Structure 1
């Protein structure tokens, strides 16, 4: 069996690609390589080898003209916010512990129940609105439970006092490829071709062709020329709405209707090269200030010194959350560079006059939106996909799931095992639990891709994975 990869972009990696200009390399959104999944870690180590660096995490929150360490450092937070406001935060926290919201349907309810209304107002509401462009009341609690996980105010304070930290989203150290996250995928693509596979760049998938419950191939276009490619098995990372629309013949109407309800948040990054060394040491700074539009600021040297071609300069990424067609998305590159440089100065980080070069990267569908419609819609689509005998959908947009990259990768790894008959239900791969044998589909004989596997064979496949 020979793998054939179709990539719509000019380089591999998707949102984890590494773009470059004049020797400077840019991470699209900041990608920390950290996982508790042994098989994902093993793949990273195998592909990257000595190019896999260990990097310290340093990040802060900018709010009301001050910088707050993140994770929380107690005395830094108290000094910044003041004793009076700190007492109000603790009283608010106590109130919500005694009288919590009985329903936890929204992001707002979930956070207030764990942090109190006062801290939510300071550190969650404005940034969440900036990232998603909608009220936190309209975002499902699923997103908070997935991304913030087991953190609460009491745990944050204890971590700050004791130095402990068992919250996965607040790791202190991580791995990072020497030349950015795209290096992982560039080396993977080279490995695929070395082993007899093919990787086609600048090639879009227009239609997914099926006959009943079997996918027979795809229609792809390269440099204006369209052709059909047959396939024994297809693994897709297309966004779910795009994927559903691509099927020929189309899925049932209720599946199409579900796909049309899915929403996405787009993203762009303005990279600025400064004529002096780094203006701050952080990997990135979360900007909670509503007076500027930038949401997060990266310092690429803090990820890896080799992201810069000239070490006497600084390379800074100004991240903006937007929607395709809005004023930010449609702004010219020159105006975006001017906006980013101006906000860098407004925040007191560097003078706009020190910017000597810029590069704009626009990323559509960067974040699947967890609104009130998404869960029912995704469940409807997943139920239909499960009826297909030789088709899998994987990754963040392929499952409309805002996972960390290790779980997105894990879904793809399990999909590859399904090609050889493993029978994993990919919808059970998520950020809350590892992928265990208990999560195998119960009807393994029915869905096994070879049609001849027994339970013993399924166990053998799992143990050798």
Structure 2
């Protein structure tokens, strides 16, 4: 191995990928993870054969380099092919998502369909004739994309519930990649092509394999090791852990939340940089794995619940992801209920008993109020970076400050760059950061700049 001595903060997809890239170039980093597990949000907690995927992680990409990593970590027999089928639960109807024109015109009533079509036509006409703000609010974008009627039915309540903010206070930067347009043609063909891969034991299976590969190559991976401060000097970097131990290196690759990274820097950055960091917000996520003895034939991977009658924001049907997320003997229903909250919100403060009561009330409201056979709680404090109106300017300020004053400090990944990335984007940002460390012309900040990433050109495993 070389005499380089990089430090990696965070053992999610970005941190583990950076480690694999460094090892492939003959460098053994040290890796510190604040929690007791690897994979970040893409972990798969398991108790007695019950597995919970906290976010519903689809595996798709346009990058051969990413595919090569996935293939190298898990053999072909450890992947399952999953046809995506999702729905939005509105007024008791499971309306297929991505939205399909013929469903919108008929499923919620003929009058609603005609009204929605007229509102969409008016919105498209207005979009062509007015100058668009940059960036648009999510509400303006949603009305322009779907028309006011269908936007209000499907998206306004859901965005309030999941982002915990008013749609006017969110920018639409993430929406083109995360929310697909209405399908008017070839709906059956498009659905047939919408197939992704998934590790048979959940996403954590992949990242646990990555951690094992790093350990086999001599990488020191320390769990339960939060970094509380970072100091740079003429000899490189010194990071201090919560337990008082320190480590030194010539560079730092950081996937810890960008706001937390700025707060941990010593000497303290200027006030305007600290203010920019303080403006960056996250949503927390509580995923509740629920086993019901009754078999409910729910033909969807995901069901989105925009209505106010339930607190759950999205429901995963784990059986349709992989039957191996449940014990082999199980013949009932295994669901994952996702609750979006702030780290200081009432849901986050609720103990397991209080959360169980909320879950049972939601199940009754959804008409599946069977006795709960098993329940698991998985809490993720930094699940999703919020796209508030100050995000773009704040990140730009911090990025320039780090480039100028700390060029060997390399933020990467969803939280490290405060960018709503998929797994493959997080991996690509890590690959770009490592390439730049070796003097190559790579810019990890340009990763995930495509307008409609999910729509075409995805590679098959």
Q: 1:265·1:368 contact (CA, 8 Å) conserved in 2?
A: yes
Query: How far apart in 1 are the matches of 2:43 and 2:164?
Result: 25
Match of 2:226 in 1: 204
The equivalent position to 2:61 in structure 1, one of 13, 17, 35, is 35
| Contact preservation (8 Å) 1:272, 1:341 | no
Write out per-residue CA displacement over residues 295-346 of structure 1, whole angstroms, 9 at most, x where no aligned residue. 0011112111111113223221111111122221112211211211221221
The answer on 1:408 being equivalent to 2:430 is no
* 1:325 aligns to 2:314 (yes or no): no
Counterpart in the other structure of 1:441: none
CA distance in 2, matches of 1:145, 1:152: 8
Structure 1 residues 140-151: aligned runs within 5 Å: 140-148=171-179, 151=180
- In the alignment, structure 1 residue 186 sits paired with structure 2 residue 208: yes
Partner-residue secondary structure (3-state), 1:251:
coil
Q: What secondary structure is seen at the aligned counterpart in 1 of 2:330?
A: coil
Whether 1:261 and 2:279 are equivalent positions in the alignment is: yes
Q: Is the Cα contact below 8 Å between 1:57 and 1:171 reproduced in 2? A: no
Alignment of 1:287 onto 2:302 = no
CA contact (8 A) 2:102 2:184 kept: no
- Aligned residue pairs, count: 420
Distance between the aligned counterparts of 2:96 and 2:322, measured in 1?
A: 21
Q: Please give the secondary structure, in 2, of the residue aligned with 1:352.
A: coil
Instruction: Indicate whether 1:102 and 2:128 are aligned.
Output: no
Distance (Å, rounded) in 1 between the aligned partners of 2:48 and 2:294: 17
- Residue matched to 2:239: 218
Asked whether the 8 Å contact 1:69–1:77 carries over to 2, the reply is: no
Q: What does residue 14 of structure 1 align with?
A: 40
What CA distance in whole angstroms lies between the structure 2 residues aligned with 1:146 and 1:386? 28
Q: 1:195 to 1:320 in 2, by over 3 A?
A: same
Structure 1 residues 93 and 398, CA, compared in 2 at 3 Å: closer, same or farther?
A: same
Alignment of 1:9-408 (within 5 A): 9-50=35-76, 51-100=78-127, 102-104=131-133, 105-148=136-179, 151-153=180-182, 156-160=183-187, 163-164=189-190, 172-211=194-233, 215-221=236-242, 225-309=243-327, 310-348=329-367, 350-353=368-371, 355-387=372-404, 388-408=406-426
Larger RCO, structures 1/2 (Cα 8 Å, 6+ apart): 2
| Equivalent-residue separation in structure 1 for 2:185 and 2:65 (angstroms) | 32
Contact 2:313 2:340 in 1 (8 A): yes
Aligned residue for 1:340, secondary structure, equals: helix
Q: 1:171 to 1:227 in 2, by over 3 A?
A: farther
Root mean square deviation, CA, Å: 2.0
Unpaired runs of at least 5, structure 1: 436-465
Provide the rounded CA distance (Å) in 2 between the counterparts of 1:380 and 1:171.
Answer: 41
Provide the rounded CA distance (Å) in 2 between the counterparts of 1:322 and 1:47.
33
Deviations 1:263-309, CA, capped at 9 Å, x for gaps: 11111112111123344132111112221110001111211111111
CA distance in 2, matches of 1:402, 1:369: 8
Q: 1:211 to 1:14 in 2, by over 3 A?
A: same
Q: Distance in 1 between matches of 2:31 and 2:119?
A: 53
TM-score (norm 2): 0.87
Deviations 1:134-168 (A, max 9, x none): 111110121223423xx444xx22243x7347xxx
Asked whether the equivalents of residues 272 and 356 of structure 1 are also in contact (C-alpha less than 8 Å), the reply is: yes
Aligned-partner Cα distance in 1 for 2:331–2:273 = 54
Q: Cα offset for 1:434?
A: 12
- Taking a change above 3 Å as real, the CA distance of residues 114 and 370 of structure 1, as seen in their structure-2 partners, is same
Give the conservation status (yes or no) of the 8 Å contact 1:403–1:431: no
Map of 2:23 onto structure 1: none
Deviations 1:25-49 (A, max 9, x none): 1101100001112211111111112
| Cα shift at 1:235 | 0.4
Once residues 124 and 106 of structure 2 are traced to their aligned partners in structure 1, the CA distance between those partners, rounded to angstroms, is: 25
Gaps of 5+ in 2: 1-26, 454-461
Q: Residue 9 of structure 2 aligns with which residue?
A: none
Contact kept? 2:276, 2:397, Cα under 8 Å:
yes
State the alpha-carbon separation in 2 of the partners of residues 306 and 231 from structure 1. Answer: 41
